[in-house]
């Protein structure tokens, strides 16, 4: 009985102790907080971790919600300076390039210098996860950013952070939030939605206006713009227009001031706005020069003109698009209709952050779209791609196959193999010793404020197996220029090559027969029977006429003489004069003026070839 009572008392005491110990244990750990936000390209977000105690175990897991964000997280002390980190990263990358070091190792060294702890991919896939044991009592910071990709582009997108105290399950990314507060957004270090950007440019008679494409705005965000000339006599104007080109705000349209500035608060989420920059008038005359444009979101200090770039990007830069063309085969050169038919391969490469995606969404690094599903790609990106047109294309373009490869960081390649006709402005003045220039023009459909071409030197080429037998293809050149169109000034890719003719055909089929006709005509000068000379010369002239007609079908009817035309015209005239000359000699002979005939004939026997040589020399000087 006593033993039973003692056992019950022991259980009761231990129960009380266990009950009283459990709240204390709960107060020391098991806290989980969820943080979400958006990281713009090149941006970092800073959270305060206040009043931590030595020995506490903090756990963090950062993952991607949207975009191509590859998150990286840091734990730092309160002395952390993001600007110093950025400067040290740039300095380290320069040093790596100069000293031929691994930039990834150098980058890790910089992170170690600025962080008490950091992690990139330990959370599975591209997620970051780390455990931090607090070394001393005090305040700390949690920093999250997007890792710089191999292609040099900052990753970006929406993120989710699980922050926990004594909650190691967070490292798997599956913990439930408890409603506790562990991290607090440092608004002073990373003001929500603030961004300041500086853009420079110039206006000229060739381009008196331009525009910048603005990123999207959230409800109640305010745009600030400050435009000042930096050279010339420019009097600038500003005009904010929406997605249907409707004016929303303007500044200095009358040209009363030397500066232009505006601000506008968006009443709802807004996208596809443009800010137009134009030169205004001074005594009804447009002004030109360089300018400096400051843009800001939620940054009224922009209107002072003294604000420094920081935070999110406000305006999109034009997308640099690499273009390369391979001339695979020339099927036909129609010189009469002035076009040539080619089989070619065209490729474009560009990086657009808006086309980035999270690799974990498809467990893939890239997506491939071919003929059967390329429309799916265009639908997914809302037709945001650098469409193009062949300016001198004649008739339809048959695309044999095409493909698009979309990488997770927004890097896209487009390839197509096509067959089509291209117009050529042939110049036959030196025919058949002419050198023709074959040109293919590729123009961007969009103004150069959206798209700017550059040459993919490793792609642009003329294949050695083009199959062209009449021309020698040489001296390939690619030129990137700006072309004025009805849609504005667009970027243009010009692919051109020179092509002299293979001369063996013309030598043996044209000039050898011409030489023989001349020689036959000359040989008649050594006959003393003038009647036979007349007969041979007449037959030679008829032969020449037939030969001339046979050549006429080989090149178009032109409004000017070619070198060959001039040669043929001289031959026709001289052959006709030879007949007249022989008839005249025959009449002199019939009038018993044999001595005169022989004296004239002896001179003309050798003057005849000299006349040809002199006239041909004049033609060469004239045409070449």
Domain ranges of the chain: 28-185, 195-316, 319-500, 506-623
The pLDDT of residue 383 is 61
CB atoms within 10 A of CB 435: 14
| Crossing angle (nearest 10°) for helices 563-590 and 512-523 | 10
Over range 138-154, report the average pLDDT: 78
The pLDDT of residue 284 is 67
The side-by-side arrangement of strands in the sheet containing 138-146 is 117-119, 71-76, 138-146, 44-52, 184-185
Residues comprising the chain, all counted: 624
Spacing of C-alpha 471 from chain mean position: 32
CA separation for the pair 167, 29 (Å, rounded): 7
Under the phi-then-psi rule, with left for phi > 0, alpha for psi from -120 to 50, and beta for the rest, what region is 619?
A: alpha
Residue 591 vs residues 28, 514, 585, 599: alpha-carbon distances, Å: 141, 35, 10, 15
Lowest mean pLDDT among 157-171, 395-409, 539-553: 539-553
Closest CA to 438 of 502, 392, 469: 392
The pLDDT of residue 153 is 61
Q: What is the CB-side half-sphere exposure of residue 393 using CA atoms within 13 A? A: 15
Instruction: Tell which CATH architecture fits domain 506-623.
Output: Up-down Bundle (1.20)
Instruction: Tell which CATH architecture fits domain 195-316.
Output: Sandwich (2.60)
CA separation for the pair 133, 119 (Å, rounded): 14
Closest CA to 395 of 341, 445, 439, 446: 341
CATH number for domain 319-500, candidates 3.20.19.10, 2.70.170.10, 3.40.1190.20, 2.40.50.140? 2.70.170.10
CB atoms within 10 A of CB 352: 20
Residue 348 contacts by C-beta under 8 Å, 6 or more apart in sequence? 321, 322, 323, 324, 386, 388, 413, 414
195-316 and 28-185 share a CATH fold: yes
CA separation for the pair 383, 185 (Å, rounded): 37
Is residue 567 over pLDDT 60? Answer: yes
Question: How many distinct helices (H) and strands (E) make up the chain?
Answer: 9, 32
pLDDT tier at 155 (50, 70, 90 boundaries)? confident
CA separation for the pair 470, 480 (Å, rounded): 29
DSSP, res 216: P
CA separation for the pair 402, 41 (Å, rounded): 31
pLDDT digits over 84-127, tens only?
887 888 888 888 888 888 888 888 888 888 899 999 888 887 88
The pLDDT of residue 24 is 35
pLDDT digits over 273-332, tens only?
999 999 887 666 788 999 999 999 999 999 999 999 987 789 988 999 999 999 999 999
Tokens linked to 58: 């903090």
At residue 373, the 3 state secondary structure works out as coil
CA separation for the pair 102, 96 (Å, rounded): 6
Indicate the class that CATH gives domain 28-185.
mainly beta
pLDDT tier at 373 (50, 70, 90 boundaries)? confident
Whether this prediction's pTM lies above 0.85 is answered by no
Phi/psi at 490 (nearest 5 deg)?
A: -115, 160
pLDDT digits over 507-557, tens only?
988 889 888 888 888 888 888 888 888 888 888 888 888 888 877 766 667
Spacing of C-alpha 7 from chain mean position: 84
Phi/psi at 317 (nearest 5 deg)?
A: -80, 155
């Amino acid at each position: 009985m006593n033993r039973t009572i003692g056992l019950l008392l022991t259980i009761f005491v231990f129960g009380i102790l266990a009950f009283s110990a459990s709240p204390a244990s709960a107060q020391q750990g098991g806290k989980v907080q969820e943080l979400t936000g958006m990281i713009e390209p090149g941006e970092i977000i800073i959270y305060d971790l206040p009043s931590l105690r030595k020995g506490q175990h903090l756990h963090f897991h950062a993952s991607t919600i949207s975009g191509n964000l590859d998150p990286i997280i840091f734990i730092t002390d309160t002395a952390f300076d993001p600007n110093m980190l950025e400067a040290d990263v740039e300095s380290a990358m320069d040093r790596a390039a100069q000293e031929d070091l691994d930039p990834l190792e150098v980058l890790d060294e910089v992170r170690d210098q600025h962080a008490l702890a950091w992690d990139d991919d330990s959370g599975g896939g591209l997620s970051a996860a780390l455990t931090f044991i607090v070394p001393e009592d005090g305040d700390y910071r949690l920093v999250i950013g997007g890792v710089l990709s191999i292609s040099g582009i900052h990753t970006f997108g929406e993120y989710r952070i699980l922050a926990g105290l004594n909650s190691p399950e967070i490292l798997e990314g599956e913990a439930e939030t408890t409603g506790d507060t562990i991290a607090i957004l440092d608004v002073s270090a990373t003001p929500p939605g603030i961004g300041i950007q500086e853009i420079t440019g110039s206006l000229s008679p060739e381009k008196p206006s331009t525009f910048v494409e603005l990123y999207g705005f959230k409800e109640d965000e305010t745009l600030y713009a400050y435009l000042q000339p930096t050279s010339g006599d420019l009097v600038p104007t500003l005009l904010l227009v929406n997605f249907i080109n409707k004016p929303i705000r303007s500044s200095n349209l009358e040209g009363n001031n030397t500066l232009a500035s505006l601000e506008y608060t968006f009443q709802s989420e807004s996208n596809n706005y443009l800010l137009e920059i134009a030169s205004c008038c001074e005594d009804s005359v447009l002004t030109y020069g360089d300018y400096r444009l400051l843009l800001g979101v939620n940054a009224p200090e922009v209107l002072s003109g003294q604000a420094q770039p920081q935070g999110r990007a406000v305006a999109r830069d034009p997308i640099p698009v690499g273009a390369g063309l391979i001339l695979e085969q020339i099927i036909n050169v129609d010189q009469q209709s002035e076009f040539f038919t080619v089989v070619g391969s065209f490729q474009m490469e560009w990086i657009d952050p808006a086309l980035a995606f999270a690799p974990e969404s498809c467990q893939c690094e890239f997506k491939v779209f071919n003929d059967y599903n390329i429309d799916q790609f265009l639908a997914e990106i809302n037709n945001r791609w650098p469409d193009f047109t062949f300016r001198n294309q004649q008739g339809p373009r048959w695309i044999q196959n095409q493909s698009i490869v979309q990488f997770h960081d927004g890097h896209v390649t487009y390839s197509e193999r096509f067959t089509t006709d291209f117009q050529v402005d042939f110049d036959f003045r030196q025919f058949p010793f002419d050198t023709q220039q074959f040109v293919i023009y590729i123009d961007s459909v969009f103004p150069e404020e959206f798209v700017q071409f550059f040459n993919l030197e490793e792609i642009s080429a003329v294949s050695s197996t083009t199959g062209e037998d009449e021309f020698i293809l040489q001296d390939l050149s690619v030129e990137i220029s700006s072309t004025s169109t009805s849609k504005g000034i667009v970027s243009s890719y010009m692919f051109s090559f020179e092509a002299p003719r293979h001369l063996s055909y013309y030598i043996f089929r044209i000039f050898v027969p011409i030489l023989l006709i001349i020689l036959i005509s000359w040989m008649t000068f050594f006959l003393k029977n003038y009647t036979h000379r007349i007969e041979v010369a007449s037959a030679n002239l008829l032969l020449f006429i037939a030969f001339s007609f046979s050549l006429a079908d080989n090149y178009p009817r032109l409004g000017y003489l070619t070198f060959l035309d001039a040669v043929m015209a001289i031959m026709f005239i001289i052959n006709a004069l030879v007949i007249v000359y022989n008839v005249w000699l025959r009449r002199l002979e019939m009038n018993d003026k044999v001595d005169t005939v022989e004296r004239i004939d002896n001179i003309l026997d050798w003057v005849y070839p000299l006349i040809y040589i002199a006239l041909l020399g004049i033609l060469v000087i004239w045409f070449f």
